[in-house]
Amino acid sequence: MIGCDCAVCRSTDPRDKRTRTSALIEVTTADTSAAFAGAVRSILVDTSTDLRAQALAYRVNRVDAILFTHSHADHIMGLDDVRRYNVLQRTALPCFADPQTATDLRKTFHYIFNPPAQGGGGIPQISLFEVGGAFTLGGVEIVPVPLLHGHRPILGFRVGTFAYLTDCSRIPDTSWPLLAGVRTLVLDALRDKPHPTHFSVAEAVDVVARLAPERTYLTHMTHDLGHEATCARLPAGVELAYDGLLLDIER
Ligand SMILES: [Zn+2]
Ligand SMILES: [Zn+2]
Ligand SMILES: [Zn+2]
């Protein structure tokens, strides 16, 4: 946190150096055909404020599609930097969002959706799709999971046995069946103190107890939660995520 001297902000543990919440899903296959070379295989979840720094740090050299969870600033403000992927891949980027987030993206990034006559340094080329139910990208089924982030409906996403549920304070009754059988879970847990729009650690642990995934990684933490000390008191199978964390997921 800017201007904070707390123990976590001064920590030398690299896992305490956190940029904004985001994820990249890479679809791997034994198929080496030319057809697969052109397929969707790198799916970014949200375009965080730190997208450029994250892409450079973790060598994200390809993005074929973007899923948006919601339109809060920390999840969308890196969108301008995806124009580099337009150049690298010579194609527009398909983006998927719920109707509210799509409306907010068109407003916040009006220059992308209503481009000026002179493009200057370049404008992202985006094809924005509004999602209702499940859809397929690169041969992988993407299941949007409606969540509540305070009063605001947002989306989590399920891919195979993996679910990514950031920025939520409640899982609606109708969404629990969409999560049945999830084995690897990424779940919002802001801090210990309750918050109106995010799960606390205790609330997240309650979700884990009900869903019973094999492993859970908590995300979107504040500097209240140091990595090592928090992991030491979490139940078995639950730990904090960290920047650069890599997970192997079965389809
Ligand atoms: Zn701090
Ligand atoms: Zn949010
Ligand atoms: Zn957020």
Mean pLDDT, each 10-residue run in order, the chain (251 residues): 97 98 90 69 97 98 97 98 96 97 98 84 93 92 98 98 98 98 98 98 98 98 98 98 95 74
How far apart CA 196 and CA 61 sit, in angstroms, is 37
54: CA distance to ligand 2 center in Å? 19
User: If DSSP codes are grouped into helix, strand and coil, which group holds residue 79?
Assistant: helix
Helices (H), 77-196: 83-89, 99-108, 110-113
Q: What local confidence, expressed as pLDDT, does residue 28 receive?
A: 84
Q: How many residues can be counted in the chain?
A: 251
91: CA distance to ligand 3 center in Å? 29
206: CA distance to ligand 2 center in Å? 21
Do the Cβ atoms of 147 and 50 come closer than 8 Å? Answer: no
Q: What local confidence, expressed as pLDDT, does residue 153 receive?
A: 98
State both tokens at 201: 């650690």
Let me know the angle formed at the C-alpha of 31 by 30 and 34, rounded to the nearest 5 degrees.
Answer: 150
70: CA distance to ligand 2 center in Å? 7
Q: Which of 189, 190, 183, 156 is nearest to 171 (CA)?
A: 156
Q: What local confidence, expressed as pLDDT, does residue 156 receive?
A: 98
**Residue 164, beta-bridge partner list:** 157, 186
